[in-house]
């Protein structure tokens, strides 16, 4: 994952303009006037309020701050320009990620140390359909450290991810399989093409229900169970191979459906840690046609 959770959830729609009027036409049938009503196409402006993540704070079980992340956005509040990570004891960031874009797509991600020096730089390349096809990571001197390549099927679904070393040799690969329209399996292989592990995904009512992890021999290592409240994920349970509960994350949401808190508990129900999320609201305007 190239970056920490960055949430932007569209939910509340408000019609902003008023509308009125309809046209009637008179017609005569057998000497009597009959009124007919014909709907007229009109337009109105609709404003969508979008919660945009600007800060997340991680807490220890006793409530003390572990670290927090501040997100800096562009003026339109649509592009993430910078992600700065702070620990609970310092006022200066311990790490900064700065993002660059081209045609609305992230093309460069630069990581800066606490002293302002560059640690590494990630460059991304997309095809003419907007799909990510390759990445490369360079060190502070511009030397290639590693790279990745991606392939897709005719439906635009990712089918393979290859990780290459500085010389371009494949170090590892991950393949993706689909059932109907959903991801159903993930298979990881080492430099020699040997399977190192697999993941199986199961769905219920169109939502991810279970994710199971297997070792190279096909033995179950652990699984995750997804629990929903309506359309929103309410908890994620991590289970050992024998089915016993290992940990559980409980999610809380705001009025617009945005994630506001995630709390992790151990098997006994004791709180391990929690993360809170803060947002600002972006208002997107659009025009829609209606008939009256």
Condensed to tens digits (0 to 9), the pLDDT of residues 90-138 reads 889 999 999 999 999 999 999 999 999 999 999 999 999 999 999 999 9
Q: Which residue has the tokens 């609970």?
A: 88
Per the CB < 8 A criterion, the answer to whether 215 and 198 are in contact is no
Q: Chain centroid to CA 30: how far?
A: 65
Average pLDDT of the chain is: 90
Cross-strand bridge partners of residue 183: 178
Would you state the pLDDT for residue 88?
84
C-alpha distances in angstroms, 175 versus 18, 47, 150, 162?
52, 41, 10, 9
Q: What are the CA-CA distances from residue 135 to residues 49, 119, 156, 168, 178 (Å)?
A: 34, 17, 18, 12, 24
The CATH label, of 2.40.160, 3.40.462, 3.20.20, 2.60.120, for the domain at 12-291 is 2.40.160
Q: Rounded to an integer, what distance in angstroms lies between the CA atom of residue 198 and that of residue 60?
A: 32
Q: Are 241 and 224 in contact (CB under 8 A)?
A: no
Residue 181's pLDDT is what?
Answer: 84
Going by C-alpha positions, the residue among 215, 171, 166, 217 that lies closest to residue 193 is: 171
Percent helix, percent strand, percent coil in the chain, to nearest 5? 0, 70, 30
Q: What is the pLDDT of residue 25?
A: 39
* Rounded (10°) CA dihedral 212, 213, 215, 217: 20
Mean pLDDT is lowest, of 30-39, 57-66, 175-184, for 30-39
Q: How many residues are listed for the chain in this entry?
A: 292
Confidence check: pLDDT of 8 > 70: no
The residue-averaged pLDDT of 57-68 equals 97
Read off φ and ψ for residue 143, nearest 5 degrees.
-80, 140
Q: Say what the pTM is.
A: 0.82
- pLDDT for residue 16 is more than 80: no
Q: Closest Cα to residue 248, out of 230, 229, 224? A: 224
With CA atoms as reference, report the closest residue to 67 among 278, 279, 274. 274
Beta strands 207-214 and 158-165 are: unpaired
The domain locations on the chain are 12-291
The pLDDT tens digits for 186-210 are 999 999 999 999 999 999 999 999 9
Q: What is the Cα–Cα distance from 225 to 129, expressed in whole angstroms?
A: 34
Contact criterion met (CB below 8 Å) for 132 and 139: no
User: In the chain, what percentage of residues exceed pLDDT 70?
Assistant: 88
């Amino acid at each position: 994952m190239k970056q920490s959770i960055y949430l932007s959830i569209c939910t509340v729609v408000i019609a902003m303009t008023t509308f009125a009027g309809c046209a009637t036409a008179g017609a005569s049938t057998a000497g009597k006037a009959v009124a007919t009503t014909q709907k007229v196409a009109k337009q109105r402006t609709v404003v969508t309020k979008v919660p945009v993540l600007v800060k997340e704070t991680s807490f220890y079980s006793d409530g003390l701050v572990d670290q927090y992340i501040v997100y800096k956005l562009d003026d339109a509040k649509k592009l993430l320009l910078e992600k700065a990570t702070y620990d609970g004891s310092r006022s200066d960031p311990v790490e900064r990620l700065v993002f660059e874009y081209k045609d609305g797509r992230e093309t460069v991600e630069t990581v800066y140390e606490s002293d302002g020096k560059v640690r590494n730089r990630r460059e991304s390349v997309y095809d003419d359909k907007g799909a990510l096809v390759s990445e490369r990571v360079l060190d502070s001197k511009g030397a290639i450290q590693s790279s990745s390549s991606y392939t897709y099927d005719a439906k635009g679904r990712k089918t393979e991810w290859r990780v290459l070393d500085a010389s371009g040799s494949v170090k590892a690969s991950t393949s993706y399989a689909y059932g109907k329209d959903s991801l159903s399996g993930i298979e990881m292989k080492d430099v020699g093409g040997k399977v190192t592990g697999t993941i199986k995904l199961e769905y219920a009512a169109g939502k991810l229900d279970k994710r199971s992890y297997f070792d190279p021999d096909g033995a179950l290592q652990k699984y995750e169970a997804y629990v929903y409240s309506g359309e929103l994920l309410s908890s994620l349970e991590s289970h050992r191979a024998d089915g016993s509960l290992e940990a559980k994350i409980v999610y809380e949401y705001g009025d617009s459906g945005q994630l506001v808190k995630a709390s992790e508990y151990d098997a006994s129900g004791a709180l391990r840690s929690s993360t809170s999320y803060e947002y600002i609201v972006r208002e997107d305007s659009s025009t829609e046609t209606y008939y009256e």
